Amino acid sequence: MSSQSLDKLMYSFVMEDVLKGFFIYVPPGYVACVYDLGRGVLKKVLTPGLHFKIPFWQKAKLFNTQTLEYSISRDFNPQNEKAMGDIPIAAVSQNGQRMGVEGTILLRLDIHQIPAIWQTIGEDFVAKIIRPTVRSRIRMVASRFDQAEIMGAKRDSVETELKNELERIFYSRGIFVENVLLSEIGNIEDYKKAATE
């Protein structure tokens, strides 16, 4: 490769790097929050499209504004703390039965509160807010029903009550609860046997 073509190649890499520093591309379904060294996290979010930013002075972070699936299942890997989900949640029913609860919770971030979430909670809001709250509320709601009711006739009441409890806590933090869908409720001993096998 000649010296001249190597110079052109290096020039193109440098120019591309500098130009990327001037712009923020926000894809559909996302917004960007901007951290400014002088003013902190800016209150205005950047909607999908191409936006100008000051290189080296402003840093952008993308946040997903689509419906997020928080899956509670045996397939979840607990090693990844930032992942949206959890292992089956152990709970005790009103009649003292120990059970494992699996399901899906559909969540969405409030676009207008994302800067506050980033400023006050940080990027790891799943580990700090969502996971502990979901665990706590599932255990609390499960303790109000017998296991047979949770598994059968009152399942929709359990889902509605759980949705209401989660909304009560998440709404003020900028997280909307779209739906709660329980998939499997089993005896905790069955979960232990499956884990050892």
Segment 20-41 mean pLDDT: 89
- Top mean pLDDT of 38-47, 146-155, 188-197 is at 38-47
Backbone φ/ψ region at 10: left (φ over 0), alpha (ψ -120 to 50), beta: alpha
Query: What's the pLDDT tens digit per position in 48-94?
Result: 999 988 888 888 999 999 999 999 998 888 787 778 899 999 999 99
Residue range(s) of every CATH 3.30.479.30 domain in the chain:
68-196
Query: What's the pLDDT tens digit per position in 91-143?
Result: 999 989 899 999 999 999 999 999 999 888 888 888 889 999 999 999 999 99
Q: Are 86 and 103 in contact (CB under 8 A)?
A: no
Domain 68-196 grouped into CATH 3.30.479.30: yes
Q: Beta-carbon neighbour count of residue 114 at 10 Å?
A: 21
Band the pLDDT of 19: cuts 50, 70, 90: very low
pLDDT of residue 12: 43
Picking from 129, 133, 128, the residue whose alpha carbon sits closest to that of residue 166 is: 133
Q: Are 184 and 102 in contact (CB under 8 A)?
A: yes
- Concatenated DSSP letters for 11-40? HHHHHHHHHHHHEEEE-TTEEEEEEETTTE
Instruction: Give the residue with greater pLDDT, 98 vs 22.
Output: 98
